[in-house]
Amino acid sequence: MEVKSVFSLSNPYKLNYVKEKLDTFGKVEGLNFDYQFCKTPEQIISFLQEKIIDCAIVDVKNYFDLELDFLDWFFVNIYEDYDFDVLVSNKNNENFDKIEKIGVLSISQWLYCKKRFHTDNINFIKAFKNINELLTEFDLVMLPGYFTNQIGNHLYIEKINIIDLQKPSFEGASCVIFRKGDERFLFLRQFFIKSVYFIGAGIGDKKYATYEAIRTIKNLDVCLFDNLMDHSLLDYLPEDAILIDVGKRCEHHKLNQAKITDLISMYARMGYRVGRLKGGDPSIFGRLAEEIKVLEDLRINFHIIPGISTINALSIKSGIILTRREINRGFCVLSAIKHKGATAEFNRKELDSLPLIFFMGVRVIGKISSSLINDGYLPHTKVAVVFCIGTEQEFEIRGTLSDIASKINDLKGQLLFDNPPGIFIVGEISNFFYQRSGLLQDKKILVPTPFDDKLYFSFKDIGVNLFSYNLNIKYKITKEILEKITSFQAIAISHAKLAKALMETLFEQKKDIRTLPQLITQSDNVFNFFKHYGLYCVKDIDSISGLDICFIYNNNYCMDLLKLLSQKNKISSIKIEGRTYKTDVLTAFDMIYFECIEQYYEFVDLYGVNSLKDKIILSIDKSISTLITSKKNQSFISIFDKTNFKFNITRLLNFGNVNLIVSTPS
């Protein structure tokens, strides 16, 4: 499908980046972009309004000139995955004093080069060229970090952190503008934006905030926060996060609800991960439905992080317990304030229109439904039953008072276990549901614990449901084995769990860790583990020769390090046996992530290789690719690179039968 587009960008490298991204992601939907140049904002508006073009690509500074009711937009930022620029030259830094001509792309780069190289011969690059062509024109060029993968090894490269350049906001961003409701661009936008997170801050002290709430706050780019919460939670935000106080209290509103909603969607479309931090629980009297409705219309993905509400916390000190046996079996919660701040009046008839919530009523839903119908409720009254709330097994059944019991009976064979816990909801409110967006919306992925936060939120931002699995395998090194291991000139270790077992045994035996022989590894995890204790590991395997080395391993497949070391050294191998603890039953999943090949084998030992049949496997360990391919039971292999996360997601969208994705470390 042809997409007619115009651009008005002065930076040729920004334009090249936007074109590359739109073309790449557009292929998923069969879109072919036709780019033409257009100079004036007035002409762009006219073309969009008259449907002569489908979209326009402009500098961010010009976006506000094009902000009209019939238009929608999103930012594309060349620095999305890179926080540095690069200096590139044929000369090394010792010869920088001989630099005569410099090429730059932005004012901030010009100022940096002016200050550092003390020359007036700094020029703006006018057209997109490859690096070799640029270096025939300039002695030195400064480019965004994104282009480092296009630079050959024979050139001198120096990385300059963006923070040192004092770049203005969105210097590397462009704005894609289109008509509201265009399904093609609503889909494409999901590649360039992150999710919105509605976070319950809990009540009173921050100690009542959940672990997931704090974890999410730590990874926000923008936070809109309320008054009625512990503001010390804001200390968890990254240093460069944008804080916006949108607190409301009684009659004093810093911003009205419409403005708050506009800010949420605006920052999301700019590419930020946005958090709306509310006191208590966001879904209880928190205007959540209004804020979510806008995101649903814009196809912006969102997540809800529940919080402890005052309803939950009432009994902490007061002694008021909302339900007491033989006193009452429920309660009604109402707001005392109506829309626009008016005091709410109440009469008993209003109770008839309120939804009913039944806890612990799954077994007797049929009786409850019959009783309500006999008491005057209409048989077609909307109802829902939500099972296993907050767990990996959560699911729901919807219907009416007249048919809900039969629907549950029909599904009894499919229920995860007999009599699962559930809540029965009666009333029109049970008819509502979220219209979620996300590139891989509702796909389930299993990840190991602990799991890298950057990757965790990359998955969350595209709508994936993450569930954790724990490989409960503990390795034990006996006193006798420890004495044997430490008698060698060096110890080679390929797995972090073995490194941990070694240290634990040393501490148990009260041995001085400084007396350990030379440590050798190829694993970053092992290297960093020992570094934490002030111990150094040799990673340059080629530099090791003539040593008597003890290689300790846990599985017969971890032999790459052994093979390399045995070429120049005398090797003795000791296998460390592991003890497997009972693990939880695996939840149903579509994808699974392995940090390394050791995790893959441990998983297979616990759950069997058949548990991975027809699943998508993701890993940062290339050796898993070789291993699984050799078994000839996978149909597709791709490189999954963390620094180009969304680019690799297109492979999942393009190939419905993907079985394997291998990730290279960033």
- Active-site residues, by number, are 226, 248
User: Which secondary structure element, helix H or strand E, spans residue 108, and what is its range?
Assistant: helix 107-117
Strand 660-664 and strand 616-619: the pairing is parallel
Measure the CA–CA gap between 27 and 480, rounded to whole angstroms. 61
Identify the burial level of 602 via C-beta atoms within 10 angstroms of its C-beta, where 0-12 means exposed, 13-18 middle and 19 or more buried.
buried
Burial of 558 (0-12, 13-18, 19+ CB in 10 A): buried
Q: How far is the C-alpha of 68 from the C-alpha of 441, rounded, in Å?
A: 30
CA distance 514 to 436: 55
From CA 582, how far away is CA 550, in angstroms rounded? 31
Query: Which ranges of 490-607 would DSSP assign to H, the alpha helix?
Result: 496-508, 524-532, 560-565, 597-607
Report whether the peptide linkage leading into residue 421 is cis, meaning its omega lies within 30 degrees of zero.
no
What are the structure tokens assigned to 110, written together? 């010009």
Q: What is the three-state SS of 355-378?
A: CEEEECCHHHHHHHHHHHHHCCCC
Q: Which amino acid is at 214?
A: I
| Helices assigned H by DSSP within 155-300 | 162-165, 183-189, 211-217, 257-269, 288-298
Other C-beta atoms closer than 10 Å to the C-beta of 285 total 15
Q: What is the DSSP string of 110-130?
A: HHHHHHHH--S-EEE--S---
Rounded Cα gap, residues 655 and 480, in angstroms: 53
The sign of the dihedral angle between the CA atoms of 614, 615, 618, 624 is negative
C-alpha to C-alpha distance for 14 and 326, rounded to whole angstroms: 70
CA–CA gap between residue 573 and residue 488 (Å, rounded):
11
**Phi, psi values for residue 48, rounded to 5°:** -70, -40
Report d(CA 33, CA 31) in Å as an integer.
6
**End-to-end CA, the chain:** 35
CA atoms within 13 A on the CB side of 219: 21
Contact 460, 439 (CB under 8 A): no
Distances in Å between the Cα of 276 and the Cα atoms of 68, 242, 292, 503 are 26, 12, 11, 43
Burial label for 163, CB within 10 Å (0-12, 13-18, 19+), is: exposed
Q: Please give the structure tokens belonging to residue 4.
A: 């007619």
